Copies of this chain bind each other. A is one copy, B any other.
Amino acid sequence: MPPGAGRGWGGGRGAHGRGRGPQPRRIRRLLEPALLHLLRAGPLHGYALVGALEDLGLEAYPTDLSGIYRVLRDLEEMGMVVSSWDEASSGGPPRRVYELTPVGRQYLSDWVYDLRATADMLDRFLHSYDQGGLEEESD
Protein backbone atom coordinates (compact mmCIF):
# COMPACT_ATOMS: atom_id res chain seq x y z
CA MET A 1 0.00 0.00 0.00
CA PRO A 2 1.60 3.18 -1.16
CA PRO A 3 1.31 6.23 1.02
CA GLY A 4 -1.62 7.49 -0.91
CA ALA A 5 -3.41 4.23 -1.41
CA GLY A 6 -2.31 4.08 -5.02
CA ARG A 7 -2.25 6.67 -7.68
CA GLY A 8 -5.97 6.71 -8.13
CA TRP A 9 -6.94 9.41 -5.70
CA GLY A 10 -8.80 11.13 -8.44
CA GLY A 11 -11.06 8.28 -9.21
CA GLY A 12 -12.68 6.38 -6.42
CA ARG A 13 -13.26 7.16 -2.84
CA GLY A 14 -11.92 3.87 -1.69
CA ALA A 15 -11.70 2.41 1.73
CA HIS A 16 -8.63 3.18 3.71
CA GLY A 17 -8.55 2.35 7.38
CA ARG A 18 -6.44 4.25 9.88
CA GLY A 19 -6.47 7.93 10.19
CA ARG A 20 -4.86 8.29 6.82
CA GLY A 21 -7.12 10.01 4.44
CA PRO A 22 -6.66 10.12 0.72
CA GLN A 23 -3.23 11.26 -0.24
CA PRO A 24 -3.44 14.44 -2.24
CA ARG A 25 -0.77 16.06 -4.28
CA ARG A 26 2.74 15.48 -3.22
CA ILE A 27 4.14 18.89 -3.95
CA ARG A 28 2.43 21.74 -2.27
CA ARG A 29 0.93 24.41 -4.40
CA LEU A 30 2.40 22.92 -7.53
CA LEU A 31 -0.65 24.16 -9.33
CA GLU A 32 0.61 27.68 -8.92
CA PRO A 33 3.81 27.36 -10.95
CA ALA A 34 2.10 24.96 -13.33
CA LEU A 35 -0.58 27.45 -14.25
CA LEU A 36 1.90 30.28 -14.53
CA HIS A 37 4.04 28.17 -16.78
CA LEU A 38 1.13 27.33 -19.01
CA LEU A 39 0.22 30.99 -19.26
CA ARG A 40 3.67 31.71 -20.62
CA ALA A 41 2.50 30.32 -23.92
CA GLY A 42 -0.35 32.79 -24.03
CA PRO A 43 -3.56 33.82 -22.30
CA LEU A 44 -5.97 31.08 -21.35
CA HIS A 45 -9.11 30.67 -19.34
CA GLY A 46 -9.47 28.33 -16.40
CA TYR A 47 -11.51 25.67 -18.07
CA ALA A 48 -8.97 25.34 -20.87
CA LEU A 49 -6.13 25.05 -18.39
CA VAL A 50 -7.38 21.66 -17.25
CA GLY A 51 -6.52 20.05 -20.55
CA ALA A 52 -3.31 21.99 -20.77
CA LEU A 53 -2.31 20.64 -17.38
CA GLU A 54 -2.81 17.10 -18.56
CA ASP A 55 -0.78 17.79 -21.66
CA LEU A 56 1.97 19.06 -19.39
CA GLY A 57 2.34 15.58 -18.03
CA LEU A 58 0.95 16.24 -14.59
CA GLU A 59 -1.51 13.43 -14.95
CA ALA A 60 -0.54 12.36 -11.47
CA TYR A 61 -1.97 15.61 -10.30
CA PRO A 62 -5.58 15.53 -11.37
CA THR A 63 -6.80 18.84 -10.31
CA ASP A 64 -10.24 19.81 -9.31
CA LEU A 65 -11.59 22.74 -11.29
CA SER A 66 -12.27 24.69 -8.15
CA GLY A 67 -8.62 24.54 -7.28
CA ILE A 68 -7.64 26.01 -10.59
CA TYR A 69 -10.08 28.88 -10.29
CA ARG A 70 -9.02 29.52 -6.77
CA VAL A 71 -5.33 29.59 -7.60
CA LEU A 72 -5.96 31.82 -10.59
CA ARG A 73 -7.82 34.33 -8.48
CA ASP A 74 -5.13 34.20 -5.83
CA LEU A 75 -2.51 34.79 -8.46
CA GLU A 76 -4.42 37.75 -9.78
CA GLU A 77 -4.75 39.15 -6.30
CA MET A 78 -1.00 38.84 -6.02
CA GLY A 79 -0.54 40.61 -9.32
CA MET A 80 1.00 37.61 -11.02
CA VAL A 81 -1.71 37.48 -13.67
CA VAL A 82 -4.40 39.76 -14.98
CA SER A 83 -7.77 38.64 -16.20
CA SER A 84 -10.36 39.91 -18.60
CA TRP A 85 -13.63 38.61 -19.95
CA ASP A 86 -13.26 37.03 -23.33
CA GLU A 87 -15.38 38.79 -25.93
CA ALA A 88 -15.44 36.07 -28.53
CA SER A 89 -17.61 33.60 -26.74
CA SER A 90 -17.68 30.18 -28.29
CA GLY A 91 -20.83 28.45 -27.21
CA GLY A 92 -21.11 28.86 -23.50
CA PRO A 93 -20.91 31.30 -20.64
CA PRO A 94 -18.30 34.05 -20.72
CA ARG A 95 -14.74 33.05 -20.12
CA ARG A 96 -12.33 34.81 -17.89
CA VAL A 97 -9.00 34.85 -19.65
CA TYR A 98 -5.81 35.10 -17.65
CA GLU A 99 -2.56 36.58 -18.80
CA LEU A 100 0.86 36.41 -17.22
CA THR A 101 2.38 39.64 -15.94
CA PRO A 102 6.10 40.44 -15.78
CA VAL A 103 5.89 40.12 -12.02
CA GLY A 104 4.27 36.75 -12.47
CA ARG A 105 7.02 35.71 -14.82
CA GLN A 106 9.60 36.53 -12.18
CA TYR A 107 7.53 34.80 -9.55
CA LEU A 108 7.43 31.70 -11.71
CA SER A 109 11.18 31.94 -12.08
CA ASP A 110 11.53 31.97 -8.30
CA TRP A 111 9.17 29.06 -8.07
CA VAL A 112 11.28 27.10 -10.53
CA TYR A 113 14.41 27.91 -8.57
CA ASP A 114 12.70 26.49 -5.56
CA LEU A 115 11.45 23.44 -7.38
CA ARG A 116 14.93 22.67 -8.62
CA ALA A 117 16.11 22.68 -5.04
CA THR A 118 13.29 20.35 -4.17
CA ALA A 119 14.15 18.07 -7.06
CA ASP A 120 17.79 17.99 -5.97
CA MET A 121 16.78 17.20 -2.44
CA LEU A 122 14.55 14.43 -3.67
CA ASP A 123 17.34 13.00 -5.76
CA ARG A 124 19.66 13.02 -2.78
CA PHE A 125 17.12 11.22 -0.70
CA LEU A 126 16.42 8.61 -3.34
CA HIS A 127 20.12 8.08 -3.85
CA SER A 128 20.59 7.62 -0.16
CA TYR A 129 17.78 5.12 -0.18
CA ASP A 130 19.39 3.17 -3.00
CA GLN A 131 22.72 3.20 -1.20
CA GLY A 132 21.25 2.14 2.08
CA GLY A 133 19.47 -0.73 0.44
CA LEU A 134 22.60 -2.46 -0.75
CA GLU A 135 23.17 -4.43 2.40
CA GLU A 136 19.54 -4.68 3.33
CA GLU A 137 18.56 -6.75 0.35
CA SER A 138 18.83 -9.95 2.34
CA ASP A 139 15.06 -10.06 2.35
Interfacial residues, chain A to chain B (CB-CB below 8 A): 1-4, 7, 17-20, 23-30, 32-34, 37, 40-41, 56-58, 60-61, 74, 77-78, 102, 105, 107-108, 110-119, 121-126, 128-129, 132-133, 136, 139
Tell me whether A119 and B119 are in contact in the complex, defined as CB-CB below 8 angstroms, given that A3-B110, A28-B24 are known contacts.
yes
Chain B residues with Cβ below 8 Å from A57 are 121, 124-125, 128
Q: A32 and B3: CB pair below 8 A?
A: yes
20 A-B pairs within 8 Å (CB atoms) are namely: A2-B114, A3-B32, A3-B110, A4-B114, A17-B110, A18-B78, A18-B110, A23-B28, A26-B118, A37-B125, A37-B132, A40-B133, A56-B125, A56-B128, A57-B128, A58-B121, A60-B117, A60-B118, A118-B122, A119-B126
Q: Say what secondary structure dominates the interface of chain A.
A: helix
